[in-house]
Amino acid sequence: MNTNKILIAGVVTGVFAFLLGWLIWGILLKDTMPQGPAGFMRPDSEMVMWAMVVSCIAFGLLYAYIYVHWANISTWLSGLKAGAVLGLLYSLSMTTGMYAMSHMYSGMNEMIMDLVGNTVYSAITGAFLGWWLGWRK
């Protein structure tokens, strides 16, 4: 296994994922995403930035591990497809679970919006990672 390749690709992809997430949820979908019960979502001024960075780096490392170690993905198109499938299935699991167990979503529209947002986020991040891995060859 090429540990350095996974670590570098994971961190670079994590930074990309952070910026893409800010664009998708922080700007484009900010007013359409569920707010849940009072106090559920932190205001921007109270966001715990180190935890968000760790989350994005972990996401990048997970995808880099899968792409390099198991799937041998090294093109943007194969990365896009794998990212879309992984993102859709994981998001479907988490979104429906949260819908079942919490008041995070007030209805199906919010749940579907989050599912679509996460799938697009994962697909674009996967495309970036696939491109990065191919570019580095």
Q: Is residue 34 part of a domain?
A: no
Q: Is residue 55 part of a domain?
A: yes
Q: Is residue 109 part of a domain?
A: yes
Query: Can you give the residue range of the structural domain that contains 53?
Result: 3-27+48-135
Q: Is residue 103 part of a domain?
A: yes
Q: Is residue 100 part of a domain?
A: yes
Q: Which residues contact 18 (CB under 8 A, 6 or more apart)?
A: 52, 53, 56
Taking a C-beta distance cutoff of 8 angstroms, is the pair 84, 119 a contact?
Answer: yes
pLDDT band at 1 (very low <50, low <70, confident <90, very high): low
Q: Is residue 81 part of a domain?
A: yes
pLDDT band at 137 (very low <50, low <70, confident <90, very high): low
Angle between helices 49-65 and 108-135 (to 10 degrees): 60
Q: Is residue 59 part of a domain?
A: yes
Is residue 41 predicted with pLDDT exceeding 80? no
Each residue's pLDDT tens digit, 43-101: 788 889 999 999 999 999 999 999 999 999 999 999 999 999 999 999 999 999 999 99
- Our count of domains for the chain comes to 1
What is the model's pLDDT at position 46? 86
**Looking at residues 11-31, what average pLDDT do you find?**
92
